[in-house]
Amino acid sequence: MTQSEQKVMVANTAIDTLIEKGLIFSGMKIGLGTGSTAMPAITRLAEHLKKGSIKDVKAVVTSFQAQNACLEYGIPVYSMNHPEINGELDLTFDGADEVDPDCNLIKGGGAAHVREKLVEYNSKIFVVVADSTKRVDTIGTKFPVPVEVIPEARASVTRALEATGAKPVLREGVRKCGPVITDNNNWILDCTWEKPIDVPAMEDKINSFTGVVEVGLFSKKKPIVFLGTDDGKVEIRNLD
């Protein structure tokens, strides 16, 4: 099974299971995430909408990628501030860059983690779909943790991050000169540490630095996780 096939399998399993369990239902307010595993999940959701398994969902998206998919599939998109959403969602599903045994996450490889955290931390239920390559024992030493900062705070936040033992690197654009600009017009500092980090403590610490908009550590709301395995199965965590 290729990685792409595994992503589709995990996404389909997640959406089908959540509908069967009644956690995705008609008329719900649903958050739709970003990335190469979240996109197949949106496709599967659209298939259920088309055949009538569910209907009349209201979607909030975390990126232009998810918004374009909703436009293609005819899923209505709202903002978190819309009166019919009122800042709270029933369920959000998304991908992840890393998932540890405690279901702590790194997100933000696509620089969308600020909107992702806004949507996911304000959802009653948070669901993560990920292939087996995202499974890790510890967080912080391999895949970089993104820290979104206002541009004027780059130097001061870099010093503060270095004091935690991090090695922050300004994320540069591809096929353009200069830094990546987020959807919020900010910059990204990608951080790694020599040793694994205490994820909840580091999430709080980095978010306390003046000039930080948000860090791509997700530990405050434990998700239901659908995680691919090397033998082509799906491991499900935190689904009672």
Query: Which positions are catalytic?
Result: 116
How large is the angle between the packed helices 38-51 and 3-20, nearest 10 degrees?
A: 50
What does the block give as tokens for 135?
A: 């499974």
Q: Which residues pair with 234 in a beta bridge?
A: 228
Beta carbons within 8 Å of 127's beta carbon, 6+ residues apart: 14, 18, 23, 91, 92, 93, 94, 223, 224, 225, 226
Which of the 8 DSSP states describes residue 146? E
Cβ(30)–Cβ(91) below 8 Å: yes
Q: How many CB atoms lie within 10 A of CB 67?
A: 17
Output the DSSP codes for 41-73. HHHHHHHHHHHTSS---EEEESSHHHHHHHHHH
Q: Which amino acid is at 196?
A: P
